[in-house]
Structure formats: C-alpha cells, structure tokens
Amino acid sequence: MALSGLRVLELAGLAPAPLCGMILADFGARVVRVDRAPRSAVATDVQGRGKRSLALDLKRPPGAAALRRLCSGADVLIEPFRHGVMEKLGLGPEVLLHENPRLIYARLTGFGQTGKYAKSAGHDINYVALSGVLSKLGRKGENPYAPLNLLADFAGGGVLCALGIIIALYERTISGKGQVVDASMVEGIAYISSFLWKSQNLGLWNRPRGENLLDSGAPFYETYKTSDGKFMAVGAIEPQFYDQLIKGLGLDSDKLPSQLSFSDWPEMKKKFASIFAQKTQSEWCSIFDGTDACVTPVLSFDDAPLHQHNKQRSSFIKNDQEEISPRPAPLLSRTPAVPSCKRDPFIGEHTEEILLEYGFTQEEIAKLYSDKVIESSKLKANL
C-alpha cells in the first residue's frame, strides 16, 4: 500500500483526528492510537479501523517520557487537544522536533494554535460558524443549519489534516526535515469553501439564504418527496440537463417560465413537488436512470450499499463483525487502500507489543505497568 512503513502516533480524540488516523491506516500506515490510562470503560473512537491501541498516562512524567521515546521512532504525531495542552505535558513541538527533527507534528484543532480563540473549547458547529460558511447554509426564512458534523470535523479537519501530513511527508523527502502542521478546522472549512468565496462576483449568492442556485432556492437543485415517502435529488443545472428533467416530469417546456426566472422559482418548486409526489422512488428511478437529467434517489444507509451502481464499484465494505462502512476513497490504480477487516482495537489491546516494537525492554515495560503508567486489555481482547 502507498503508506506502508509509515509510523503514525495518534493521540486519542473525539472525531476529526480519528478520521485522519483511519485514512492513513487504510492506505497502509502503521497507526498507533495512544489512549488514556486509566482508561474509560468503552472506546469512543468508532474510526479505529486498522489501528492498534496503547494505553498511556501522559499526565505522569514517565508516561510523557514514554511518548517522547515513541515520537523519536515515529514519522507522524497527530494531536487533537486545544492549544497549550501538549506544552503543559512537556510534549510541545520544540521538544519533540528537537528529539526527532524528521517528525511531522500534526496539530488538529478547531481554532488553530494562535489567535483569540486558540485556547477555547468548541465543536464542529462553532468552527463552521466562524469560517463564515454556516451563514450560507439553510433554507429560506430558517436559521442557519449545520449539516451534521461533516464540514469542519471531517472535511475541513480530518481530511485536510491528512493532506497536510502527506504534503509535509513529501517535502521531507527533499529536505529531510519534519515540521508542524497547524490544522485549524475554521481555516480548513473556509479553504474547502474557496469556491463560495471566489464565486461571489458571479452573482450566485446575491440573494438571501435559501433563495440561491445551490442552496435550495432553485427548483432544479432540490429534493422532492415521492409517493412512498422517500425522496429524489434533483441537480439539473445546465439547460440541456434541465430539458431532460422537464421531459421526465412530463412537462412541456414551452408552457413554463425560463429556467433562471428567479421570481418563478417558488411556484416551480410547488409544481415539481406535486409531480414527484405522484410516483414512488423506484418509479422515478425507472424514468430517470440512464438519462442526463441529473436525478437520483436519496438513499438511506440501508439502501446505499445495495444500490446497483455502488455494488458494481464495491463502494461499501463489510468487516469481520458484518459492519458495513464506506470503502476508502479515492481508488489508487496500483496501490489501492486495503482496509482492515478486523474489529476496532480495544483500549490498550496492543500496549506491550507496541512498546516492544518501539524499542522498550521487557523490564521497562514491567516497570511502567507496576507504576500504572500503562494499561493493557489483553484479557478482554482474548475473551
């Protein structure tokens, strides 16, 4: 796999850092999740695919020292705490990069390492709000709406942090040096939304929220309920595709206002809604599949893996526990990701084997155990 041989340490976090670590693991990196000791009863990381777990108490000096040693033998560290936490533990970048100048020290936070909010708590919705993007999301007349925690946590956070790490690793092949990746989710989501910023002069966003082309203002970029309570998604933007939509709906374009007549959009939406409500989702699929009308079914999590297109591409995978999840993307032609089929690791399941692998002796490990600096859940894993 593309990232085979890469050694990654991921300090356990809430949602974005686990995705970042999982992406690297899916593409072949050896990712160690450093969990807390004493450990909580259940791992809250549901994105532990392909990782191993080491439970270590970083608040105890021997625990922090152990992480320093681990970092000396690692390529990448991912840390998900607010600014100042790592410094307080004596594990800031000056220390770790001094000891391992090749280390890529990735700091995945909401607000970044500097600025007024750097030390404040926050979650996805706060970061999307501060980026300016939240003000654009939502339907007409309604409050701004955050689409789950997909934008900041995952797109602007986990994914961009992984990209930053890969860029830094590439640069390291030339300079031989590591560096700090300051991955702020506010900036990540702002960057992801560059199109919105840079298209403002095109007149795409002049109208209030929910009344524009792509924000549920246009009748041809909307979802519609079908007679069986399901939905269809319509994205017929270009005139030639819009014509096919109109045809599929059984309408006569000569009797309709022009596609871009904003004032007619509310009426057209009602018209489309009443037509979509007359057939089931599967009937609409039979009409639109194979056309360029840009009309697709809105699939549930149950249905998506079973859809013929997704099945043909094996877009979803099953692990040993029969859990279904999306296959890693994108597909690389020669060195595709090979996601692990095993269950996610228990907290501390691999503590000993990881320490041995990073050069700790059996005596040192025994001392860390007896001092309660590390924990293992071998027993539970063997049950």
Ligand X SMILES: C[C@H](CCC[C@@H](C)[C@H]1CC[C@H]2[C@@H]3[C@H](O)C[C@@H]4C[C@H](O)CC[C@]4(C)[C@H]3C[C@H](O)[C@]12C)C(=O)SCCNC(=O)CCNC(=O)[C@H](O)C(C)(C)COP(=O)(O)OP(=O)(O)OC[C@H]1O[C@@H](n2cnc3c(N)ncnc32)[C@H](O)[C@@H]1OP(=O)(O)O
Separation of CA 43 from chain center? 19
In whole angstroms, how close is the CB of 325 to ligand X at the nearest point?
16
Taking CA atoms, 99 is separated from 72, 227, 251, in Å, by: 6, 64, 70
In whole angstroms, how close is the CB of 51 to ligand X at the nearest point?
15
Query: Which residues make Cβ contacts (< 8 Å) with residue 165, sequence separation at least 6?
Result: 20, 24, 76, 78, 104, 106, 181
In whole angstroms, how close is the CB of 222 to ligand X at the nearest point?
27
Give the tokens for residue 191. 């960057």
Report the residue number, 40 or 175, with the smaller CB distance to ligand X. 40
- Identify whether 123 is a catalytic site residue: yes
Q: Please select the residue that binds ligand X; options are 56, 96, 97, 293, rule is CB under 6 A.
A: 56
Q: What pairing do the DSSP bridges indicate for beta strands 7-11 and 76-79? A: parallel
C-alpha span between 371 and 60 (Å, rounded): 10
Q: Please select the residue that binds ligand X; options are 28, 48, 93, 110, rule is CB under 6 A.
A: 110
Q: Please select the residue that binds ligand X; options are 1, 2, 65, 85, rule is CB under 6 A.
A: 85
Q: Residue 181: name the closest of 194, 170, 195 by CA.
A: 170
Q: Residue 36: name the closest of 73, 65, 11, 15 by CA.
A: 11
Contact region for ligand X (CB under 6 A) — 51-59, 287-295, 308-316, 351-359? 51-59
- By three-state DSSP, how is residue 230 classified? coil
The residue count for binding ligand X (CB under 6 A) is: 28
- Identify whether 153 is a catalytic site residue: yes
Peptide bond into 330 cis (omega under 30): yes
Report the residue number, 60 or 225, with the smaller CB distance to ligand X. 60
Contact region for ligand X (CB under 6 A) — 94-102, 118-126, 257-265, 284-292? 118-126
Contact region for ligand X (CB under 6 A) — 121-129, 238-246, 251-259, 303-311? 121-129
Report the residue number, 66 or 218, with the smaller CB distance to ligand X. 66
Q: Are 40 and 64 in contact (CB under 8 A)?
A: no
Q: Please select the residue that binds ligand X; options are 3, 6, 9, 15, rule is CB under 6 A.
A: 15
* Per annotation, catalytic residue among 26, 45, 153, 344: 153
Site for ligand X in 239-298 (CB under 6 A): none
Give the tokens for residue 355. 């320490």
Report the residue number, 245 or 347, with the smaller CB distance to ligand X. 347
Report the residue number, 183 or 294, with the smaller CB distance to ligand X. 183
Query: Does residue 10 bind ligand X (CB under 6 A)?
Result: no
Query: Does residue 182 bind ligand X (CB under 6 A)?
Result: no
Considering only CA atoms, give the Rg of the chain.
25
Report the residue number, 278 or 321, with the smaller CB distance to ligand X. 321
Q: Please select the residue that binds ligand X; options are 3, 54, 78, 89, rule is CB under 6 A.
A: 89
Site for ligand X in 131-170 (CB under 6 A): 149, 153
Taking CA atoms, 118 is separated from 20, 38, 91, in Å, by: 21, 28, 18
The β-bridge partners of 221 are 235
Taking CA atoms, 353 is separated from 58, 127, 193, 349, 365, in Å, by: 19, 38, 43, 9, 10
In whole angstroms, how close is the CB of 261 to ligand X at the nearest point?
40
Query: Nearest 10 degrees: CA dihedral of 164, 200, 110, 178?
Result: 20
Query: Which stretches of the chain bind ligand X, using CB under 6 A?
Result: 11, 13-16, 34, 36, 40, 42, 44, 56-59, 80-82, 85, 88-89, 109-110, 121-124, 149, 153
The residues annotated as belonging to the active site are 123, 153
